[in-house]
C-alpha cells in the first residue's frame, strides 16, 4: 500500500492537471468567440445591406391567412390544373411523381387537365369534411387523392377512420389519404386505431410532413393529441395507443419527402418569376413555422462554417459550444416563462378589467423543454367548477392558457382551454361548452381551428411565436429591470383574452 503522503501528492497533482485542462478549454472557447465575433458582426452588416436591396426577410405569407383553411386553399390551388397560376397540371404532376417514387400505388397519368376535379372542404357523412380532394379521371373509376391538413389542431374522434371508410367505399382501391402534419406526426389512436390502419389501409394511407424534422425518433411518434397538454391524451385511448406501440404494430407510412420539398420541386420547374417568388415564400414559411428555424441566417452560418474549416483546431471547441446550447436555451426560456408569470400577476392587479377577480385568480406555469405541449402558462378562477377526471395542470378547471405545440419552446398558441375534451363531456357540459364557444367567437373573433379541448385559440404573432429563434432577445429581457417588448406583447395578449373570456366562463362554468 502506498504511503498516505504519496496518495495525497497523487490526487493533488491530478487536481492541478484537471484544473489546467479546464482553464485550457475555457481559453479555447474564449479564443473561438473572439475570432468568430468580428466575422459574424461583418456578416450581419452584409445581411442588413442586402436586405435594403433584396428584402430577403419579406414574406408574402406574413400578410395572408395561414390558419388550417388558409393553407389548405394554397395547397389546393397549386394542385388544381385550372387554377389561376396558369401552369396547368405542372404542380399536380410533380406531386404525383413524388408519390410514384415512394408508394406501391400508381396514380394514373394526367390526360385532359380540365377533367381533374379539386374540391376544398369536401363533405362526407355526418357533416365531416376532408380538407382537399383531388379526383383524377381513370377507368373504370376516378383515382382519388385526399389530403387531411393538420398544421395545428388535433384530430376529432374517429376522424381519419371516417375519411378512409368513405374513400374506400367510393374509390377502392384507387385512393390515397395523405395526413399532412408539421414534421411527420401521424394521427392519434383517438382518430384511427393503428392496428386498423395496418390491417385495412396500409397501402392507402401515408403521412406527409410540412418540413422534415432532424429528430427522427420524435418525428416517428404516432401522434399524441395536440389538444392535451404534455402530449397526454386524457382519455381511455391513451392506454390503447401505448399498448399498440408495445405489441409490435408498425407506425403509419411516413413519406421521405416533405411539402416543402414538393414546393421546391415546383419552384425549380416553374418558369414564371411571380410564381417562383411565391413558392420561395411558401418554402420559407414551412421552414420557419414547422422546421425550427433559428436566429442564424444562411450567410452567418456560412461565415462560421468557413471559419471552422479554415481553423480546424477550433472544431472540438465548436462541438462543445454546440452541445451546451440546448441547456442554455432551456434555462433562458424557462426563466423567461417564469418572468411572464410574474409580469402577468402584476398586470392582473393593475388592469381595471380584471380588478374584480384579482383575489380569485390563480396563475401558474411549467417548462418541460423539448417534448411537444410540455411548456405552458395558465390562469383560472378558483371558483370555477372542477371537472371530474379533468386535466391536473389547471386543477381540473377551464383556463386561459399559453402553450407551445411545437418541438421545444416553439409554435406558441394562446386561448381558452378546457380540462376535458368536448367529446368526453356529458350532454349538459357539452351544451355549456357550445355556448361558451359561440360567446368567445363573438368577443375574440374566429378560433384558428376546431379543437376538442380548446373552445377558442390562436397562435401568437411573430416573433413571439417561436422562442428558439429569439433566445438572445429573451435573455436580454430576463436581465432587464422592466418588462421588455416581447414580455409586454405576450402579457397584453393574455390579459386581453382573459378580460373577454372570464365573464363568459363565469356564466357557464361556475
For the stretch 106-153, pLDDT in tens is 788 887 778 899 999 999 998 899 999 999 988 777 899 999 999 877
Q: Do the beta carbons of residue 146 and residue 175 sit within 8 Å?
A: yes
pLDDT value at residue 41:
73
> Residues 375, 217, 294, 24: is their CA dihedral positive or negative?
positive
The set of residues, in sequence order, having a beta carbon less than 8 Å from that of 354 and lying 6+ positions away, is 347, 348, 361, 495, 498, 499, 502
pLDDT value at residue 17:
66
SS (H, E, C) 423-456: HHCCHHHHHHHHHHHHHHHHHHCCCCCCCCCCCE
- Alpha carbon distance 448, 331 (integer Å): 30
- Alpha carbon distance 90, 162 (integer Å): 31
Q: Do the beta carbons of residue 90 and residue 125 sit within 8 Å?
A: no
For the stretch 233-287, pLDDT in tens is 233 333 333 333 444 556 788 999 999 999 999 999 999 999 999 999 999 888 8
- Alpha carbon distance 387, 384 (integer Å): 10
- Alpha carbon distance 359, 484 (integer Å): 26
Over pLDDT 90: what percentage of the chain? 48
For the stretch 363-381, pLDDT in tens is 999 999 988 789 999 999 9
- Alpha carbon distance 16, 415 (integer Å): 56
- The CA R_g of the chain, rounded to the nearest whole Å, is 26
For the stretch 6-45, pLDDT in tens is 666 666 766 776 666 666 666 766 777 677 777 767 766 7
- How confident is the prediction for the chain on average, in pLDDT? 83
131: helix, strand or coil: strand
> In terms of Cα–Cα distance, which of 123, 179, 114, 110 is closest to 146?
179
Q: At what angle do helices 259-269 and 90-102 cross, to 10 degrees?
A: 130
- Alpha carbon distance 449, 428 (integer Å): 23
Single pTM value for the model: 0.69
- Alpha carbon distance 496, 445 (integer Å): 13
pLDDT value at residue 421:
85
Q: Give the Å distances, CA to CA, from 81 to 88, 105, 304.
A: 4, 22, 44
Q: Are strands 456-459 and 412-417 parallel, antiparallel or unpaired?
A: antiparallel
pLDDT value at residue 84:
93
- Alpha carbon distance 417, 436 (integer Å): 11
- Alpha carbon distance 181, 162 (integer Å): 18
Distance from chain centroid for Cα 319: 27
- Alpha carbon distance 202, 185 (integer Å): 16
Q: Do the beta carbons of residue 441 and residue 457 sit within 8 Å?
A: no
> Residues 190, 191, 196, 197: is their CA dihedral positive or negative?
negative
> In terms of Cα–Cα distance, which of 308, 296, 302 is closest to 31?
308
Amino acid at each position: 500500500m502506498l504511503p498516505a503522503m504519496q496518495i495525497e501528492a497523487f490526487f493533488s497533482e491530478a487536481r492541478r492537471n484537471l484544473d489546467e485542462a479546464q482553464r485550457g478549454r475555457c481559453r479555447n472557447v474564449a479564443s473561438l468567440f473572439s475570432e468568430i465575433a468580428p466575422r459574424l458582426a461583418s456578416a450581419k452588416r452584409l445581411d442588413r445591406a442586402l436586405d435594403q436591396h433584396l428584402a430577403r426577410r419579406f414574406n408574402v405569407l406574413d400578410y395572408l391567412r395561414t390558419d388550417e383553411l388558409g393553407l389548405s386553399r394554397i395547397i389546393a390551388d397549386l394542385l388544381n390544373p385550372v387554377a389561376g397560376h396558369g401552369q396547368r397540371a405542372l404542380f399536380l404532376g410533380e406531386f404525383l411523381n413524388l408519390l410514384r417514387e415512394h408508394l406501391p400505388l400508381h396514380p394514373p397519368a394526367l390526360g385532359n387537365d380540365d377533367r381533374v376535379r379539386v374540391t376544398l372542404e369536401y363533405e362526407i357523412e355526418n357533416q365531416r369534411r376532408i380538407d382537399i380532394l383531388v379526383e383524377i379521371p381513370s377507368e373504370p373509376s376516378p383515382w382519388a387523392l385526399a389530403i387531411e391538413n393538420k398544421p395545428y389542431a388535433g384530430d376529432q374522434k374517429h376522424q381519419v377512420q371516417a375519411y378512409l371508410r368513405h374513400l374506400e367505399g367510393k374509390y377502392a382501391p384507387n385512393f390515397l389519404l395523405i395526413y399532412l402534419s408539421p414534421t411527420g406526426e401521424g394521427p392519434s389512436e383517438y382518430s384511427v386505431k393503428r392496428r386498423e390502419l395496418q390491417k385495412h389501409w396500409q397501402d392507402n394511407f401515408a403521412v406527409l410532413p410540412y418540413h422534415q424534422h432532424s429528430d427522427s425518433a420524435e418525428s416517428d411518434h404516432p401522434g399524441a393529441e395536440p389538444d392535451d397538454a404534455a402530449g397526454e391524451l386524457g382519455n381511455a385511448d391513451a392506454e390503447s395507443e401505448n399498448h399498440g406501440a408495445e405489441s409490435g404494430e408498425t407506425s403509419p407510412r411516413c413519406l421521405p419527402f416533405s411539402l416543402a420539398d414538393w414546393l421546391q420541386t415546383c419552384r425549380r420547374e416553374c418558369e414564371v418569376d411571380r410564381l417562383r417568388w411565391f413558392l420561395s415564400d411558401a418554402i420559407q414559411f414551412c421552414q420557419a413555422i414547422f422546421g425550427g428555424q433559428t436566429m442564424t441566417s444562411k450567410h452567418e452560418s456560412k461565415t462560421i462554417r468557413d471559419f471552422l474549416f479554415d481553423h480546424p483546431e477550433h472544431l472540438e471547441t465548436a462541438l462543445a459550444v454546440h452541445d451546451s446550447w440546448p441547456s442554455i436555451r432551456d434555462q433562458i426560456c424557462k426563466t423567461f416563462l417564469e418572468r411572464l408569470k410574474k409580469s402577468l400577476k402584476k398586470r392582473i392587479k393593475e388592469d381595471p378589467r380584471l380588478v374584480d377577480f384579482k383575489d380569485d385568480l390563480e396563475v401558474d406555469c411549467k417548462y418541460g423543454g423539448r417534448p411537444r405541449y410540455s411548456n405552458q402558462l395558465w390562469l383560472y378562477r378558483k371558483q370555477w367548477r372542477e371537472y371530474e377526471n379533468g386535466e391536473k395542470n389547471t386543477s381540473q378547471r377551464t383556463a386561459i392558457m399559453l402553450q407551445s405545440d411545437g418541438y421545444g419552446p416553439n409554435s406558441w398558441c394562446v386561448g381558452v382551454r378546457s380540462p376535458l375534451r368536448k367529446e368526453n363531456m356529458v350532454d349538459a357540459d357539452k351544451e355549456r361548452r357550445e355556448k361558451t364557444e359561440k360567446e368567445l367567437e363573438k368577443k375574440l373573433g374566429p378560433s384558428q381551428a376546431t379543437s376538442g379541448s380548446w373552445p377558442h385559440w390562436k397562435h401568437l404573432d411573430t416573433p413571439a411565436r417561436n422562442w428558439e429563434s429569439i433566445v438572445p432577445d429573451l435573455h436580454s429581457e430576463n436581465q432587464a429591470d422592466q418588462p421588455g417588448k416581447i414580455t409586454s406583447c405576450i402579457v397584453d395578449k393574455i390579459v386581453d383574452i382573459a378580460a373577454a373570456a372570464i365573464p363568459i366562463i363565469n356564466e357557464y362554468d361556475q
